[in-house]
């Protein structure tokens, strides 16, 4: 099928007639003598008729009700899935600990490695503390923030010290 | 994008009471016209309309105000209906009719007053049958243009077709309907 706009003269005239009929029906203009225009107006009139079937009058409220019902279901499913995922992770973690317990013991017996792990995890945990307190609704105290900041500086210094001592 | 539409979208996103119901009431007519014209099965069309609005609600956060809300919702309705037709293996376009039906432009007679010869209801019934028999896409394009009074650009946004293609569908289908009307009532060239 050719999808181009009508372009030759006959087509242009026909298109103009169709559009004239559409405009006349839209504006409710009086009928004129042109027979072709009248036929197009009959076509347009039929096309402007409401459809034989319609949506129920309470369709909008039904859909809104369905929307209100759905988030609870979706949330519940997400909650179940999260718990299932957490359970799986816990089992895997436990399995890994059991499997590599001897290796872990060896690592834990090395104080430098333990100190290094603490130095990496402590700043990350403390950095999250203000966000957690904000979420819980309590304002973090200025002194506490100062203390956290000092701790983070201290732990960074400790990392540097431990790295340089290992290099030496 | 009108200011009212923007306010409505923001109200829905803010979970304002009855905002989404207002949005559905505003655009359910358009969705119904698109889906029912494409699908033609009332029960399925109602379910698809509901599916459309569930999708609208689900994806409203992704709406970037680039096109009108009407076009955006219409596009979702059109896509939902199109997928339904694909699942049912129903062709959207009628490949059998095209160029051949153009020639009658010059052949149709102007000298016969059809409306004085037949009653309005007879003519209307004949045309309704002819409209129902049209392929889904043409039927929908004609309805959006004449019943919903959408512009060609808006229809192009909804269907994803070029404006030239929309014009071509309008032109050929209206011509075909006129031709069928004259054939049924014995208007000879």
How many structural domains are present in chain A?
Answer: 3
Touching A: B residues 31-70, CB under 8 Å: 32-33, 36-37, 42, 45-46, 49-50, 53-54, 57
Pair A114, A126 in one domain: yes
Pair B106, B50 in one domain: no
Residue B53: which CATH number? 1.10.1740.10
ipTM of the complex: 0.82
Pair A91, A152 in one domain: no
Radius of gyration of chain A (CA): 38
Does residue A166 have a pLDDT over 60? no
Domain hosting residue B40, numbered range? 3-87
Residue B94 has what pLDDT? 65
What DSSP character marks residue B1? Answer: -
Domain hosting residue A38, numbered range? 9-47
Residue B116 has what pLDDT? 56
Residue B188 has what pLDDT? 43
Residue A47 has what pLDDT? 94
**Tens of pLDDT along B64-112?**
888 899 999 999 999 999 999 999 988 887 655 544 444 444 444 444 5
Q: What is the mean pLDDT of residues A95-108?
A: 83
Q: Contact, A2 vs B168, CB < 8 A?
A: yes
The CA distance from B34 to B144, in Å, is 7
**Tens of pLDDT along B125-180?**
889 999 999 999 999 999 999 999 999 999 999 999 999 999 999 999 999 999 98
Nearest to B181 by CA among B138, B127, B102, B129: B127
Q: Contact, B189 vs B108, CB < 8 A?
A: yes
The CA distance from A67 to B59, in Å, is 13
Task: Centre a 10 Å sphere on the Cβ of residue B154 and count the other Cβ atoms it contains.
Answer: 20
How many structural domains are present in chain B?
Answer: 2
Cβ <8 Å between B32 and A43: no
Touching A: B residues 126-165, CB under 8 Å: 127-128, 131, 142-143, 145-147, 149, 162, 164-165
The CA distance from B48 to B84, in Å, is 8
DSSP output for A101-142 = HHHHHHHHH-HHHHHHHHHHHHHHHHHHHHHHHHHHTPPPPH
Q: What CA dihedral angle connects A37, A40, A44 and A46, to 10 degrees?
A: 120
Is A164 within a domain?
yes
Across A119-128, B45-54, B171-180, least confident range = A119-128
B177 touches chain A (CB under 8 A): yes
Pair A79, A106 in one domain: no
Residue A34 has what pLDDT? 81
Instruction: Tell how many helices (H) and how many strands (E) occur in chain B.
Output: 10, 0
Residue B118: which CATH number? 1.10.10.10
Q: Contact, B160 vs A75, CB < 8 A?
A: no
Residue A156 tokens read as 């960074």
Which residues of chain B have a CB within 8 Å of the CB of A67? 20, 53-54, 57
């Amino acid at each position: 099928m050719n999808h181009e706009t009508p372009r030759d003269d006959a087509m242009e005239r026909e298109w103009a007639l169709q559009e004239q009929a559409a405009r006349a029906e839209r504006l409710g203009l009086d009928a004129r003598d042109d027979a072709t225009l009248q036929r197009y107006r009959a076509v347009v009139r039929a096309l402007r008729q409401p459809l034989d079937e319609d949506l129920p009058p309470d369709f909008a409220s039904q859909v809104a009700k369905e929307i209100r019902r759905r988030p609870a279901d979706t949330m519940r499913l997400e909650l179940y899935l999260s718990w299932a995922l957490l359970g799986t992770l816990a089992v895997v973690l436990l399995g890994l600990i059991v499997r590599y317990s001897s290796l872990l013991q060896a690592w834990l017996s090395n104080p430098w490695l333990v100190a290094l792990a603490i130095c990496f995890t402590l700043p990350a945990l403390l950095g999250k503390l203000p966000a957690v307190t904000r979420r819980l609704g309590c304002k973090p105290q200025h002194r506490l923030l100062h203390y956290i900041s000092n701790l983070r500086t201290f732990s960074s210094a400790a990392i540097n010290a431990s790295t340089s001592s290992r290099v030496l | 994008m009108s200011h009212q539409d923007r306010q409505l979208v923001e109200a829905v996103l803010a979970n304002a009471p009855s905002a989404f119901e207002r949005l559905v009431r505003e655009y359910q007519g358009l969705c119904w016209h698109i889906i029912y014209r494409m699908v033609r099965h009332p029960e399925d069309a109602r379910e698809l309309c509901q599916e459309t609005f569930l999708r609208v609600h689900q994806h409203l956060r992704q709406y970037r105000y680039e096109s009108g809300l009407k076009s955006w919702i219409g596009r979702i309705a059109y896509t939902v209906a199109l997928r339904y037709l694909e699942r049912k293996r129903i062709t959207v376009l009628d490949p059998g009719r095209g160029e051949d039906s153009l020639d009658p432009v010059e052949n149709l007679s102007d000298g016969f007053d059809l409306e004085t010869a037949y009653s309005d209801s007879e003519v209307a019934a004949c045309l309704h049958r002819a409209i129902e028999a049209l392929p889904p896409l043409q039927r929908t394009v004609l309805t959006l243009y004449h019943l919903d009074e959408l512009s060609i650009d808006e229809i192009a946004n909804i269907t994803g077709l070029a404006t030239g293609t929309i014009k071509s569908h309008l032109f050929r289908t209206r011509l075909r309907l006129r031709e069928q009307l004259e054939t049924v009532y014995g208007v000879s060239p």
